[in-house]
Chains A and B, each alone.
Chain A
Amino acid sequence: MSTNVDTIRDLAEQEYKWGFVTEIDEDRVPKGLSEETVRLISARKGEPEFMLEWRLKSLRHWTSLERAKGEPKWANITYRPIDYQDITYYSAPRQKLSLDSLESLDPELLRTYEKLGISLQEQKRLAGVAVDAVFDSVSVATTFKEKLADMGVIFCSFSEAVQKHPDLVKKYLGTVVPYTDNFFASLNAAVFTDGSFVYVPKGVRCPLELSTYFRINAAETGQFERTLIIADDDSYVSYLEGCTAPIRDQNQLHAAVVELVALDNAQIKYSTVQNWYPGDKEGRGGIYNFVTKRGKCQGRNSKISWTQVETGSAITWKYPSCILQGDNSVGEFYSVALTNNRQQADTGTKMIHIGRNTRSTIVSKGISAGHGQNTYRGLVKIMKGATGARNYTQCDSLLIGDQCGAHTFPYIDVRNSTARMEHEASTSKIGENQLFYLRQRGLTSEDAVSMIVNGFCKRVFRELPMEFAVEAQKLLGVSLEGSVG
């Protein structure tokens, strides 16, 4: 396609448009990780004793892991060693942290979120969506709090939850992802600084989409947020998260933990559009997105549904999973992961069937372009007591160009003979004939690729809330620019 070389080069050189930096005065703790760092973070946040103890236990565990074997090595990714003493573990915009009114918020922060298309101003807020804005290590604003509080829904920053709802935090923190779970989860437990907390009381169907918008701004800091969502009996909540970061030459570590708990008949729908800075064309810079996300369907007939669109980050290492403990509980995982240029993704899910008649659905769509490497890694485990369990897995890969790679590692472990398992997989390549067909109908080659990719991902986009689906489609288009050559 020689005639397109120029346009393609122009498009490829377009910058990551969320890459700006906000000039703001920061309060940061010195670089490095030690017991002192952890105590400092805990003190900055004015935490109760139980939190500090939990953090210190986590740090000790992490230190022992680091001495023993370090980071997990099984993933299909490569990166230079991370110097954990060269990271700043706490950075917050210096301001009065009483978040009762937006007037007290630094106007520079408001402008940042405006630029990202997220308005925190009352009059401009998205209808039907409540937003928690996390900037570097802290939550800077949460909208629609009062309205939600009227229904008994708690939606606030994690720090605030520790202060105002310590019993709930104490009861559920670490029950789905224990601090011993894995290297990055232990690190997070020791140093996490903020995140979102949601509690939906019995019988309440949360009327708004709850949304957290994560923004990494400061240089050479790690972002370690922790989100905990509890849906009590007969409740429903839909939660969205979005993420962006400035362009920087250095890699930055993002090691988050998300825990979901669904009690009897409760439903949690968790959607992510991840667009951290992916690094440049040569693979310089970008976020290491090493994240542990897990939901527990603790109650009968409960349901947890993960939908993710992963287009950003230099490296993505994440497996949003479901523990299907309650009888008749349902777990779902819908994923689109795109790797372009030098991006690497090793992502998938684990569905652990414990209760009877538990069902799970996995739909994974991996797109590789440029020199991108995309790996699906999944585990479906049917335990002995999970009589009547069912799983359906569909795992498709799409290749664009001949320098990229698609890999799949689906593990199936069945210990109950009544289980019914279905697995479908496909690998396809966008062909010259497909592109020519669309171009013959008047579409440019960029639009043609974008249309084929969107068609490929449709099954997943259908699961996203409306506004997110539109955003995700556009994002795929932007992320693929310059991939046809």
Chain B
Amino acid sequence: MSLLKVKDLHAAVDGHEILKGVDLTINTGEVHSIMGPNGSGKSTLAQVLARRETYTVTRGEILFNGKDLLKLKPEEAACEGIFLAFQYPVEIPGIGNAYFLRSAMNAMRKYRGEDELDAMDFLPLFRERVKLLEMDDALMSRSVNEGFSGGEKKRNEILQMAMLEPKLAILDETDSGLDIDALKVVASGVNAMRGPERSMLVVTHYQRLLDYIVPDFVHVLIDGRIVRTGGPELALELEEKGYGSTETETRQALPV
């Protein structure tokens, strides 16, 4: 069953059209990867799916779990089950990591009409997930992302994902700035979250991450359009030949 259905999506920022007709369907339980060169619109697609209001959708539609996603505010999209792991997570001085996560969980539970979690219910779950991500306990009592290294910030994003248990997790260049050890930890955290109930969209520039998070489908996004779709082997091909070949093929394939 399709969880996300994107049809002919056009989106602009500051009057510049970046997405120029994206079609994408993700079924429940599938892991998709979006690859593409810098400036092709990968991050824009991720932000639009998370309903960032600085991006204007000029045409097309998005159905998420049967609902019109474009009618939702960012917090509503989040509560409906869309999670975005940020490329550049922000710092929130003075707000403890655990407190922040519990507030987020409770905002979502409230939206769904569930009871809020108190600290006693929250802590065991939190500790377990912290362990999974091999995170330092000391970081958890610190302010959100404040003074975290690049790798710690990314792991913290995955920790949030693990706690919030979204229907669709979008990882926006989660591999950027990670050394190989951190990459493995992040990937194993993500893999632990894979399951028949959860879909993922892994946005990345390099094939490297896909050695550890093996996707069901790979899409190549160039100049605001998905130009090729294939299995995991497509990522390997791109690694070998570069995006240049795809661009050439595309140009040849499309009537000018």
Residues of A with Cβ closer than 8 Å to B?
1-4, 431-434, 436-445, 447, 451-452, 454-459
Contact = CB atoms under 8 A, between A and B. Distances in A.
Given A442-B107, A443-B103, A451-B103, A456 B93 contact: yes
Contact of A442 (B52, B92, B111): B111
Contacts of B88: 433
B43 interface: no
Nearest to A431: B90
Contacts of A444: 75, 107
B107 A455 contact: no
B174 interface: no
A441 B94 contact: no
A454 B73 contact: no
Contacts of B100: 441, 451
Contact of A432 (B54, B83, B111): B54
B35 interface: no
A455 B95 contact: yes
Contact of B92 (A1, A3, A438, A447): A438
B57 to A, nearest CB: 12
Nearest to B93: A455
A439 B77 CA distance: 9
Contacts of A452: 92, 95
Contacts of B92: 434, 437-438, 451-452, 455
A432 B83 CA distance: 18
B53 interface: yes
Contacts of B93: 455-456
Interface of B: 50, 52-54, 73-75, 77-79, 83-84, 86, 88-90, 92-95, 100, 103-105, 107-108, 111, 143, 160, 164
A106 B234 CA distance: 83
Contact of A443 (B52, B89, B104, B160): B104
A455 B164 contact: no
B94 A442 contact: no
B78 A439 contact: yes
A441 B95 contact: no
Contacts of B160: 441
B95 A442 contact: no
Contacts of B83: 440
A451 B95 contact: yes
A442 B105 CA distance: 8
Given A440-B78, A447-B107, A455-B95, A4 B73 contact: yes
B54 A442 contact: no
A61 B104 CA distance: 59
Given A439-B75, A455-B92, A458-B95, 12 more contacts: A2-B53, A3-B73, A436-B52, A437-B90, A439-B74, A440-B84, A441-B107, A441-B160, A442-B104, A442-B105, A443-B75, A443-B104
A437 B95 CA distance: 14
A1 B78 contact: no
A457 B94 contact: yes
Contacts of A434: 90, 92
A441 B90 contact: no
- Choose among A433, A439, A447, A459 the residue with the greatest number of B CB atoms under 10 Å from its CB: A439
Which 4 A-B residue pairings sit nearest by Cβ, starting from the closest?
A455-B94, A458-B94, A442-B107, A441-B104
Contacts of A443: 75, 103-104, 107
Nearest to B78: A442
Nearest to A448: B75
A454 B144 CA distance: 13
A458 B79 CA distance: 28
Contacts of A457: 94
Contacts of A3: 53, 73
Nearest to B107: A442
B78 A441 contact: yes
Contacts of A440: 50, 74-75, 77-78, 83-84, 86
Contacts of B90: 431, 433-434, 437
Contacts of A433: 88, 90
A456 B108 contact: no
Contacts of A451: 92, 95, 100, 103
Nearest to A452: B92
A426 to B, nearest CB: 10
Nearest to A432: B54
B86 to A, nearest CB: 7
Nearest to A461: B94
Contacts of B107: 441-444, 447
A159 to B, nearest CB: 42
B18 to A, nearest CB: 17
A439 B73 contact: yes
A421 B252 CA distance: 70
A367 to B, nearest CB: 13
Nearest to A426: B93
A29 to B, nearest CB: 48
Nearest to B163: A441
